[in-house]
């Protein structure tokens, strides 16, 4: 299991979005009130602490991943804006209609001044920790967040992924994100329910395929079609997709790549010669549009001189599973583990 910053005891874990623990400093603040569940203290990738003495009322999310989690937790009514909004029809079931009602503050990264003037008291950042380099766009400084009265927290399973000290092979960080968001927003019971549902699915797959020796597990390539075909983008061993693939009983062909993503060459894919290829296209908003995109990705592999001789291509071993549910932290990661395993192990897990 990978190392984490600031893990609390099992009984008090409020990890994920940030590695968390109850309490804010000294005296009575060290223990959350049984009546309210507050204070709650969370940390960023570098260990900097943020304490909540009550639930936030006006939340802005950096993109669709944290927005979806808040909707699932029942805290979507507190979201006043988002960046990178989900396209119409891209979220499942009733979540989609609720997501479409959220004000779009930026089609991509939210402009700095718009974010600071949004009236938010919490900004959930999916991209990168402020103290660890990187980030996206002209992001506000922590001093500017404080001056605007905005607490700045992170979806750590994504924001801190590239900084992990070891490969990501389970969904514990995603579960921690959900648990942490539940603690911060006062929806702990729902968070526990979501995590329990994920564990039930993953545990069932683990039980079904767990006796398959590692060398006998099929090799697997996540083909990020929308990232471009000239030079493939590999998901490496710090990306949540590596955990999804591993838990499903497969071997990520780029699990030897340290980091979250890395551009590779088609010659590298050919050398790996995967048994299975996932057609990782981004959700187009409808089943018909998604099918068309999957068809395009498959045709490209079948017609390209560099890839048509791959074992998976010749045998038609393709999985039509979208990018978001595989590479973005969330409840649907467990669904994807199940979907992959059903295809790779039909006799053990069930019908694909």
Q: How far apart are CA 96 and CA 98, in angstroms?
A: 5
DSSP 167: -
Answer for the pair 304, 229: CB distance below 8 angstroms, yes or no.
yes
Residue 319 lies in a domain: yes
Does one domain contain both 182 and 282?
A: no
Asked whether residue 243 falls in the same domain as residue 329, the answer is yes
- Statement to judge: residues 94 and 156 lie in one domain: yes
- What pLDDT is stored for residue 93 in this prediction? 83
* Rounded CA separation 45/155 (Å): 10
Residues for the chain: how many in total? 352
Number of domains in the chain: 2
Whole-angstrom Cα distance, residue 246 to residue 249?
5
The count of C-alpha atoms lying within 13 angstroms of the C-alpha of 39, restricted to the half-sphere facing its C-beta, is 16
| Alpha-carbon span 352 to 349, nearest angstrom | 9
Residue 111 is part of a domain; what is its CATH number? Answer: 3.40.50.1980
Question: Does residue 196 fall inside a structural domain?
Answer: no
Q: Are residues 129 and 247 in the same domain?
A: no
Looking at the structure, do residues 127 and 256 belong to the same domain, yes or no?
no
pTM: 0.86
Q: Do 228 and 294 share a domain, yes or no? A: yes
Q: What percent of the chain has pLDDT over 70?
A: 86
Same domain, 83 and 116: yes
Q: What is the DSSP string of 93-150?
A: TTHHHHHHTS-EEESSSPPHHHHHTS--SEEEESS--TTSS--SSSPPPHHHHHHTT-
Asked if residue 159 belongs to a domain, the reply is: yes
Domain limit, last residue, from 137, 153, 186:
186
Residue 302 preceded by cis peptide, ω within 30: no
Would the pLDDT of 180 be above 90?
Answer: yes
User: Quick check: 191 and 198 in contact, CB under 8 A?
Assistant: no
18-53 pLDDT, tens digit each: 333 433 333 333 345 555 789 999 998 888 999 999
Residue 33 lies in a domain: yes
Q: Quick one: 249 and 109 in the same domain?
A: no
Token pair, residue 53, equals: 């003495």
Which domain range does residue 141 map to? Answer: 10-186
Same domain, 21 and 135: yes
Lowest mean pLDDT of 84-93, 103-112, 114-123, 129-138, name the range: 129-138
pLDDT at 350 over 90: no
pLDDT digits (tens, 9 = 90+) for 242-281: 999 999 999 999 999 999 999 999 999 999 999 999 999 9
144 and 217 co-located in one domain: no
Q: What is the DSSP letter of 24?
A: S
């Amino acid at each position: 299991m990978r190392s984490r910053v600031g893990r609390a005891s099992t009984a008090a874990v409020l990890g994920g979005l940030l590695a968390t623990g109850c309490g804010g400093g000294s005296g009575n603040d060290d223990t959350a009130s049984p009546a309210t569940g507050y204070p709650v203290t969370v940390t960023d990738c570098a260990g900097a602490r943020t304490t909540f003495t009550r639930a936030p009322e006006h939340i802005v999310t950096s993109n669709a991943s944290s927005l979806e989690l808040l909707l699932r937790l029942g805290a979507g009514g507190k979201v006043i804006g988002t960046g990178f909004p989900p396209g119409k029809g891209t979220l499942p079931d009733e979540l989609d209609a609720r997501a479409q009602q959220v004000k779009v503050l930026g089609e991509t990264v939210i402009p700095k001044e718009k974010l600071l003037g949004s009236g938010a008291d919490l900004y959930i950042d999916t991209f990168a920790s402020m103290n660890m380099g990187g980030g996206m766009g002209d992001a506000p400084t922590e001093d500017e967040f404080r001056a605007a009265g905005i607490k700045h927290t992170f979806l750590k399973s994504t924001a801190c992924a590239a900084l992990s000290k070891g490969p990501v092979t389970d969904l514990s960080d995603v579960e921690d994100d959900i648990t942490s968001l539940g603690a911060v927003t006062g929806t702990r019971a729902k968070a526990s329910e979501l995590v329990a549902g994920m564990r039930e699915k993953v545990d069932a797959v683990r039980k079904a395929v767990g006796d398959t020796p590692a060398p006998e597990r099929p090799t697997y390539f996540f083909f990020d079609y929308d990232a471009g075909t000239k030079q493939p983008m590999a998901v490496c061993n710090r990306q949540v997709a590596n955990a999804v693939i591993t838990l499903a009983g497969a071997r990520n062909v780029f699990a030897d790549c340290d980091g979250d993503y890395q551009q590779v060459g088609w010659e590298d894919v050919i050398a790996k010669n995967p048994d299975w290829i996932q057609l990782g296209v981004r959700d187009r908003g409808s089943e018909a549009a998604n099918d068309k995109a999957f068809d395009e990705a498959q045709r490209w592999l079948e017609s390209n001189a560099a890839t048509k001789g791959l074992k998976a291509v010749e045998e038609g071993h393709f999985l039509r599973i979208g990018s978001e549910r595989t590479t973005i932290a969330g409840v649907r990661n467990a669904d994807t583990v199940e979907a992959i395993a059903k295809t790779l192990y039909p006799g053990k897990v069930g019908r694909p």
